[in-house]
Structure 1
Amino acid sequence: MLPRFPAGRPAGRSAPRRPPVVTYGLIGVCTVVFALSPVSGLVPSRGSPLAQSCAQAIYFDRWGVIPAELWHGLLTGSALGLPRGCDTPPHLAKSPFLSVLTALFVHGSWLHLMGNMLFLYVFGAGVEQRLGPVRYAAFYLLAGYLATYGYAVANAGSTQTLVGASGAIAGVLGAYLYLHPRAQVTSVFPFLFFLPLRFPAWLVLGFWFVLQWLAARTTQTGPGVAYVAHITGFAFGFLCAAACYRQRSKLGGARAPTRGESQP
């Protein structure tokens, strides 16, 4: 299932009064970082296939998150899990806490990047418009940190590198669900011959969350998708949006809905 709705705007709502500069900026930074990485295939590679595999593994270890490092300090030697035959780097100048930030802009493949950026493009602008760019940027980073630490709590001894913006984007999805529950989202279902169908956001995002929950309960710990990070980020995003919007309503009164918009 692929949700698509331009800029994640509620059906019938007029165009945002300001462009979603933070959302577009995040998409741009993630794309540039990936394009310049040894994983993209766009940077001329040198050396043998083994050397290239080693460079990619060291890149992920350097800029990604390793849950065990968040609790026990930097890993060295064979604990890094480099491919056999790689020369172990003498020292990675890395801060485990800051690696949570850098990992939000690192992706493992073109498919990984495009999937995350599509969700951010579809839903990010609607959340940014409601929260404002500064608060939205802080919210995005905080969602990414909490999602990553949520995963690290559940996998405290894992030495598997975690990269990608999906935890932070899950926070955006949770916030969107609270702020625009009845917005119409166009979704494509492969088993229905890729027919575009429109559903309310609460159904699309609720279904997505249930899938993450079921996958987290049935998937064994190991390489793959960090479902626990998605659940943590989504729950934080929903609760944070609820707290911020309710506080705003208490301070300034409930905002009258514009034409075609439903209040949450």
Structure 2
Amino acid sequence: MLPIRDDTPSRTFPLVTFLLILANGLVWLWELSLGGGAALNHFYYQFGFVPGVLTGTYQAPSWAIAPYFLTTLTSMFIHGSWGHILGNMLFLWIFGNNIEDHLGHSKYLLFYLASGVVAALVQLLSGPTSEVPTIGASGAIAAVMGAYFFLYPKAKVQTLVFFIFIAIVRLPAWIFLGIWFVMQLFEGTFGAAQGVAVWAHVGGFLFGVVIAWISSRRGRTRTEYEV
């Protein structure tokens, strides 16, 4: 399933979401300029997040950024293919504008960055000795999706469905995002998605739900107090 758009307009221009997409795009262009091979691999190990390094299983490459924990942030802006970055940015644009609208620009940026770190650490728990660089924005975007799942469950998501035939259907957000989340759980539990950090997706999504719940509770309490 591939989302095309939702029916929930935002009240403000999603500046942070736009800038995040721009930043990811610029980093991707830099990756393309490296031409692949050793140079690109060097880049992945310099800015990608390797769980085994953080847990002390392996020594960080001499050219890796320091302190190494910063790679939980830098890795969020690195992608491995056209499909990887285009898919991530599509999801971010569709679901990010409403979460930015709800939280406000500054809090949304903090939420997004914190979500990426949390997702990376959850992925570390699932494979603490891994020496493969974890890259991509999908952990942070999963948190955005989790927040959307909680805050806008009845919103309609126009979805391109590939199942025997190709069709465009309108699904309630809770169904679309719920199916997506269950698929991540399935793939993580049974190892059905090799080379994909699905536990980062799961961790990010749940973190997004929790933050959305907390923010909605605070907003309700503030309103009741002001009344």
TM-score, length basis structure 2: 0.93
**What is the letter of the counterpart of residue 35 of structure 1?**
L
In the alignment, what sits opposite 2:223?
A: 252
CA RMSD of aligned residues (A): 1.9
Q: Deviations over 1:159-213 (max 9, x none)?
A: 0110000000000000000110000001111225322100100000000000000
Distance of 2:88 and 2:59 partners within structure 1: 28
SS in structure 2 of the partner of residue 146 of structure 1:
helix
Matched-pair contact (CA < 8 Å) for 2:58–2:131: no
Distance of 2:78 and 2:57 partners within structure 1: 21
In the alignment, what sits opposite 2:136?
A: 164
Q: 1:153 offset after TM fit, Å? A: 1.4
In the alignment, what sits opposite 1:54?
A: 38
TM-score, length basis structure 1: 0.80
Matched-pair contact (CA < 8 Å) for 1:64–1:106: yes
Distance of 2:58 and 2:73 partners within structure 1: 16
Using the aligned pairs only, state the percent identity: 36
Candidates 228, 239, 244, aligned match of 2:199: 228
Distance of 1:30 and 1:181 partners within structure 2: 28
Candidates 133, 144, 152, aligned match of 1:180: 152
SS in structure 1 of the partner of residue 3 of structure 2:
strand
Determine whether 1:29 maps to 2:23.
Answer: yes
Report the more deviating stretch, 114-123 or 67-76: 67-76
Matched-pair contact (CA < 8 Å) for 1:9–1:126: no
**What is the letter of the counterpart of residue 212 of structure 2?**
A
Q: 1:16 offset after TM fit, Å? A: 2.8
Q: Deviations over 1:128-176 (max 9, x none)?
A: 1111111110000111000000110121111011000000000000000
Call closer, same or farther: CA 1:9–1:23 in 2, change over 3 Å: farther
Greater than 3 Å deviation, 4+ residue runs: none
In the alignment, what sits opposite 1:71?
A: 55
Q: Which has the higher helix share?
A: 2
Alignment of structure 1 residues 89-104 onto 2, 5 Å: 91-95=62-66, 96-104=68-76
Larger Rg: 1
In the alignment, what sits opposite 1:151?
A: 123
Distance of 1:93 and 1:193 partners within structure 2: 46
Distance of 1:203 and 1:210 partners within structure 2: 10
Distance of 2:222 and 2:150 partners within structure 1: 19
Candidates 68, 79, 82, aligned match of 1:107: 79
Matched-pair contact (CA < 8 Å) for 1:4–1:186: yes
In the alignment, what sits opposite 1:2?
A: 2
Distance of 1:73 and 1:215 partners within structure 2: 26
**What is the letter of the counterpart of residue 234 of structure 1?**
F
Distance of 1:183 and 1:62 partners within structure 2: 40
Matched-pair contact (CA < 8 Å) for 2:186–2:192: no
